[in-house]
Amino acid sequence: MRLLPPHDGFSQPRPPRWRNVFLLSLVTAGYLAVLVYVDRDTHALEQLTALGGPLLACTALVLASFALRYGRWHGALRRQGHPVARWRGLRAYLAGFAFTASPGKAGELLRIRYFADMGVPPRAVLGTFIHERSQDLLILTVLGMSAATLVPALGAVLGVVLALLMLVIVTSCNRWLRTRLLGLASVIPGAPLKRLLTFLVDGLITAGPLWKPNAALPGLAWGTMAWLLTAVAFAMLCAAVGLDLDWHQALGIYPIAMLAGAVSFIPGGVGTTEAAIVLMLTTTGASLDAALAVAVGIRLTSLWLAVVVGMLAMTNLELQSTRSPLPSSRPY
């Protein structure tokens, strides 16, 4: 998915978004096919039909978490000198979820297109995205520590993520490292790769000031509340299928599973996140069908809910753009 805009010195043709939609459709179809195949023996999907109430409650909690995460995003843009209208900015933020099922959630940089219409430069959107993802990884790592002993191999994922996260933060805040990376970008052969690395370093530079305590602490508070709501939604589903988990396990399993999905670099962690959930739940004594029902249920009300919400927001913005055409120099 090519996301470099023609602003800030980057000239690039508009990417064919239908390819992104096709890839998303392919991932979705594959996910459903695997579910149907696995359900032949477990009949876990039958349990989901009896969980209408808990699934609706989980949906409400996850939607609330989206609002909290947007509050963090809005605040980060404001601190960079780019205040945006809350409702319009919310739609632009949610539109990024349309392609959240992508490696590293890079598809969420679709927001560059819509925030550019509000006068926000691409480097600010990228810097905010890098900062947001870094905070999410930090929060999920802390939450996941409470269940890290269930499967030691998955617990080790926390260490890998934390090491990578520290590298990103140090690079964002250290001028010497950023200068070295820019120097590396200048000697890399191939203009597309050179532009990509320069753009990424520019995003790291923009994200640096957001790690100052007066900017980072409010964002961490918003993000922690958001991911706690999702962890509570997971715990509710576990209780709904009759699983009796310690509170620290109930709140820590889903964060570890999400990190395992992120480390796999499979789009959206599809399959790997569910497998990690099932593995950890079965180690607590849960049956395979109950564990699978919880894994599918939480993913329906988090990842796939985000995709649907993102598609709706993107469609709304595109229809608005069609009614009020903007100059052809937009990022997309």
pTM for this one? 0.83
Query: No. of H helices and E strands in the chain?
Result: 14, 0
Q: Is 265 helix (H, G, I), strand (E, B) or coil?
A: coil
DSSP letter (8 states) at residue 119: T
- Please tell me the predicted confidence (pLDDT) of residue 156: 85
> Domain map of the chain by residue range?
44-321
Residue ranges for the chain with pLDDT beneath 70: 1-46, 323-332
- Please tell me the predicted confidence (pLDDT) of residue 138: 94
- Please tell me the predicted confidence (pLDDT) of residue 10: 38
Q: Is 244 helix (H, G, I), strand (E, B) or coil?
A: coil
> Which residue type does 90 have?
L
Q: Yes or no: say if 317 and 91 are a contact pair by the CB < 8 Å rule.
A: yes
DSSP H or E segment with residue 1: none
